[in-house]
Structures are given as C-alpha cells and as structure tokens.
Structure 1
Amino acid sequence: MSEDEQPKKTGIELAREALAQARADAAKRQSVPGQRRRNTRVTPRDPKRSRSDPQAFGATIKKLLADRGWEEKAAVGGVFGNWAGIVGPELAAHTSPGAFEGGELVVNCDSPAWAQQVRLLAGQLVKRLNQELGDNTVTRVKVVGPQTPRKPGQWRVR
C-alpha cells in the first residue's frame, strides 16, 4: 500500500475523531462537552412541571432564538424563503431579495422597468414586510436593477 492510499476509516473511528475535535474546540472555549452551563437567570418554575418534562418544540425554538438574539435574522430568512408569498407571484418572477442589513432590504430586479415599478411600490412593500416581520424591522427598500454593462454610444441618436 502506497502513502497516497490510506485505509478507509470506519464509522467508529470517524466518530472518535469528531469527539476528539469537539473536545479540543471546547478546551479552547474553556468548556467541556456534555457539561451544562450554569443558568444564571432566575426563572419561575411551575411546581407541577419538572425540567426533565418534554417541552413544546415551537416554544423551545422561540426561546432559543430570543436567547441568542436571532429573532430578526430568522424572520428575515423566512421572508427570503417565502418571497413569492409575500410580494405575489408576478413581482416575485422579476425580483428577488438580495440582502438585509440595518433595516434596509436590497431588492434585485431583472429589468430597469421592474426596478422602476418596485421603486414606486417601495412604501407598500415596506408596510407589507413589516406586517410579516414586526414593526420597524424594514425601514427602507433599496432597488437594484440589472447589472449589465452598456456599450458607449449604444443608445445615442445620430
């Protein structure tokens, strides 16, 4: 067997390597896999419920998003995934959401005519997006037309 040919690793060997890597990463972060972080927050407990009781999935995900500060990012991701449902199929056929940062949504259009149409609808689009995402999440819509270079003199009348 040459140096280039290494035997295939089994699932157990791969799992051991992954665990070793996770432990090394945890050591860098100064935490140990499997150990729970101490909860410093005081939360009222329902005497009828134990921490080991199953939790509702939706509520748990919402709590995780809130704890990590990912609520807005998750909502914006939902808008990107459901663009046609939010703006309608005709507008979605000619536009797509590009980026979202600091309350500004960039909308890419496939033609200058559609870019102008979206500019005219920007106020309504902001209202509709804020209905989906929550008040004042989107403050501005920036419309970007097609990025095709124009040849000099292409539209010049002689």
Structure 2
Amino acid sequence: MTDPVDGAEIPETVATYLRLRGLAPSARRTRSRKRRTDTEHEPFTPGRDPRGVGDVLSDLTRSAGWDAQLAREDVVRTWQDVAGAETAAHTHPVSFTDGTLVIQADSTAWAKQLQIMRSQILTEIIRRFPDAGVVSIRFIGPDVPSWKWGPRAVPGRGPRDTYG
C-alpha cells in the first residue's frame, strides 16, 4: 500500500493498523452500507411502544392456554359478586368438573332456593366469565354423616331393624 502523503510503500500490517484506528482511509469505509428493511428494531416505530404488565400477562396466559382455568378461578374468587352477598354467606363453590359447577349450601332449604334461581346465576356467570366453560350448576346440601358408610357399618337395615 502506498502512503497518500509521500507515495511510499507501507507494510500491510501498518496499513491495517492505521485503517482500524481510523487514521487512514480504507476501501471498507467508502462502500455504502445496505439499509436494513427490518423496522422492528428501530426506535419510534409503531410496534415499539411500551406495554403494561397486564398486557404482557394477558398475552402470556393466552399463549399458554391458561384462560379457561383462570376464568374458573375468577368465578370462585368473585362468587360473592356473582351470587350476591347474602347468598354467598350461605354457599361456596366446591368443584368444577366437565362444565358443571358444584355449589354447596349451608342447608337443604338454601340448596332448594338456589335450584329455583339456577338460570339467573348461570346467566350471570356466563355473562361475566365466558371463557370459564360453565355449562350447568349443581347445588348440594350440607355434608351430614351417613349411617350406611364407614368401618363399623352393618349390612342390612342397620339400627332400624329392632324397631316395632
């Protein structure tokens, strides 16, 4: 390579050093760079606006397929708002299987009253939580001990067989 000032030949290693340090013009600098057509990584473009944490979590749950499960959890969590404060004081959700939400009541009277109100409650759940997949509601009474089951159960009529 020749020196631009006095036309002397300089070693290639020195020319490379000068070119890398930016002290001498190089052929690489005179070439025009290709412009990238990818605007995704450029600042101030439409897709680069900051996003909120809620939007990011919403995208995550949708892509992971958690929307239905989270909607079912929301039904349980907001049962007081869905059913009303007085009704929620006497009932609570027990399980959710195959589209059926099971609600346990404090008494059989509350369970029967809720069976009458079933369509209203189901409509409210579907309106608020369409992703939950609730198809029907089953209301059950309180858990009471049974004489027919257990380690000391006797086959047959049991304690009633001595009456009369």
How would you bin the TM-score normalised by the shorter chain? 0.5 to 0.7
Per the alignment, residue 123 of structure 1 pairs with 119
Instruction: Kindly provide the CA deviation profile for residues 15-50 of structure 1, in whole angstroms up to 9, marking residues without a partner as x.
Output: xxxxxxxxxxxxxxxxxxxxxxxxxxxxxx596167
State the identity as a percent. Answer: 30
Rg larger in 1 or in 2? 2
**Contact persistence 1:72–1:133 (CA under 8 A):** no
Q: 1:71 and 2:57 equivalent?
A: no
Cα drift, residue 132 of structure 1: 1.1
In the alignment, the residues of structure 2 paired with residue 93 and residue 118 of structure 1 have an alpha-carbon distance, to the nearest angstrom, of 13
Please, what is the CA RMSD of the aligned residues? 2.9
Aligned-partner residue type, residue 81 of structure 1: R
CA distance in 2, matches of 1:63, 1:109: 37
The answer as to whether partners of 2:79 and 2:88 remain within 8 angstroms in 1 is yes
Deviates most, 132-141 or 77-86: 132-141
Report the number of matched residues. Answer: 111
Q: Given the superposition, is the C-alpha separation of residues 136 and 64 from structure 1 closer, same or farther in structure 2, using an over 3 Å criterion?
A: closer
**Aligned equivalents of 1:153 and 1:97: distance in 2?**
34
Deviates more, 1:89-98 or 1:53-62: 53-62
Alignment of 1:145-156 (within 5 A): 145-149=141-145
In structure 2, relative to structure 1, the CA distance for the partners of 1:49 and 1:80 (3 Å cut) is same
Q: Which amino acid aligns with 2:88?
A: A
Per the alignment, in what secondary structure is the counterpart of residue 133 of structure 2?
coil
TM-score by length of 1: 0.60
Q: TM-score, normalised by structure 2?
A: 0.58
Q: Which runs of 4+ in 1 moved over 2 A?
A: 149-154
Secondary structure at 1:99 match in 2? strand
Confirm or deny that 1:104 pairs with 2:86: no
Distance 2:159 2:41 in 1: 75
